[in-house]
Amino acid sequence: MSADTPVISCKNVWKIFGSRPKAFYETLTPEMSFEDIRQAGYIAGVRDVSIDVHKGEMLVIMGLSGSGKSTLVRCFSRLHDITAGTISVEGQDIMSLSEQDLIELRRSKMGMVFQSFGLLPHRTVLENVAFPLEMRGQDKHTRRERALEVIKLVGLEGREEYFPRELSGGQQQRVGIARSLAIEPDIWFLDEPFSALDPLIRREMQDEFLRLQNMLNKTIVFITHDFDEALRLADRIAIMKDGAVEQCDTPDQIVLHPATEYVRKFTEEIDKAQVVSARVMANKAAKGSGDPVDHAATIKELAKVLIQDKRKVIPVAKDGEIIGGLDRAEALSVLLGDD
């Protein structure tokens, strides 16, 4: 696989639920809507989705309940067989894999964490984390060493012999994350892993998750219905509605330039100044003069500079090099929430 090849490539994928989905798919016409398909007795869980996920990227898929986000991720791992289109993982068409090859792909390449922790109540933390390695047939010493390593990584050192009932919800979720990491997956699927947690614990788990990602650089597909969580975690966000992807882009571009009315409504309560960075608004052709601001700083973080600085264009720097100029009036417009 070349450096430019997506880790996951999804092209024109459909997943239709019903009695004869492939035959029904052949009768589809471009003007048929999600509701038209439902009226015909079928459900379009995924509708003509094309999306790539690149190495080390965190793609967050979000939407309301029933939008198709979980169905799409289950297609990525072939927990659902697709009705039409293609899905490849590291250049290999997963629909062409035998059952044994598919099992091996999941065991060797994919880690999965779901909202329900799914811990084995009669096993300790150590035994729960080591369980997938046991299923692989690894010897007891090897799997114990690896389990201890990831238990420490997720901050549960000292609780190896606890049972799930003796842990808080956040700690149980850490066990689930450690268990999925034990197999050292290249690809990590997480389906609303924090949604059952209290807000404070959820924030802590997001912090922990970002720390792990900075260390491990996994390719991640993360499902959530919480836009604030998506903005905090994502490299890119895909927003789904009725099985289709309405928009897939970076958080700042989705907030600044919603592609559809649905996306606009999804983002209208978001404080753009907390999301949009100087880098996004920097004009390469107008670099300005004087002291620069950092490219990664958000407009909210630059509020004091924008209010007090009288320069029309403020230089934006990355690693000491000027990459463009920030139009102060445009930035103030974002800061003040003007349309």
When the pLDDT of each residue in the chain is averaged and rounded to a whole number, the result is: 91
Integer Cα distance of 99 and 87 in angstroms = 16
- Bridge-based pairing of strands 219-224 and 58-62 is parallel
Region 97-118 average pLDDT: 84
* pTM given for the model: 0.85
Please tell me the predicted confidence (pLDDT) of residue 138: 87
Helix (H) or strand (E) holding 227: helix 227-233
Domain regions of the chain by residue span:
8-270, 273-336
Region 257-271 average pLDDT: 91
Query: In DSSP terms, which residues pair with 8 in a beta bridge?
Result: 53, 89
Structural class in CATH, domain 8-270:
alpha beta
Region 211-229 average pLDDT: 89
Region 166-182 average pLDDT: 87
What does each C-alpha distance from 3 to 26, 52, 59 come to in angstroms? 36, 14, 18
Give me the sign of the Cα torsion angle 198, 202, 205, 207.
Answer: negative
Please tell me the predicted confidence (pLDDT) of residue 311: 93
| CB proximity list for 98: less than 8 A, separation 6 or greater | none
Q: What is the fold, at CATH topology level, of the domain defined by 273-336? A: CBS-domain (3.10.580)
Please tell me the predicted confidence (pLDDT) of residue 116: 67
* pLDDT greater than 80 at residue 197: no
Most confident of 62-66, 78-82, 184-188: 78-82
Please tell me the predicted confidence (pLDDT) of residue 144: 93
Q: Is 335 exposed, middle or buried (0-12, 13-18, 19+ CB in 10 A)?
A: buried
Helix (H) or strand (E) holding 303: helix 303-308
pLDDT tens column, 119-170: 899 999 999 999 988 888 889 999 999 999 889 888 899 999 999 999 988 8
Instruction: Identify the band that residue 5 occupies on the pLDDT scale cut at 50, 70 and 90.
Output: confident
Most confident of 81-85, 101-105, 114-118: 81-85
* pLDDT greater than 80 at residue 339: no
Region 166-177 average pLDDT: 87
Please tell me the predicted confidence (pLDDT) of residue 180: 84
CA 77 to chain centre: 15
Instruction: Identify the band that residue 226 occupies on the pLDDT scale cut at 50, 70 and 90.
Output: confident
Instruction: Identify the band that residue 35 occupies on the pLDDT scale cut at 50, 70 and 90.
Output: very high
Region 169-194 average pLDDT: 86
pLDDT tens column, 266-281: 888 888 999 999 999 9
Region 271-297 average pLDDT: 91
Please tell me the predicted confidence (pLDDT) of residue 7: 95
How does DSSP assign 162-206, residue by residue?
Answer: --GGGS-HHHHHHHHHHHHHTT--SEEEEESTTTTS-HHHHHHHH
Q: Are 81 and 90 contacting, i.e. CB atoms less than 8 angstroms apart?
A: no
**DSSP conformation class of 124:** -
Please tell me the predicted confidence (pLDDT) of residue 117: 66
Q: Are 238 and 61 contacting, i.e. CB atoms less than 8 angstroms apart?
A: yes
Instruction: Identify the band that residue 178 occupies on the pLDDT scale cut at 50, 70 and 90.
Output: confident
* Nearest C-alpha neighbor of 213 from the set 253, 236, 169, 181: 181
- Among the residue ranges 34-43, 83-92, 284-293, 311-320, the one predicted with the least confidence is 284-293
Please tell me the predicted confidence (pLDDT) of residue 174: 86
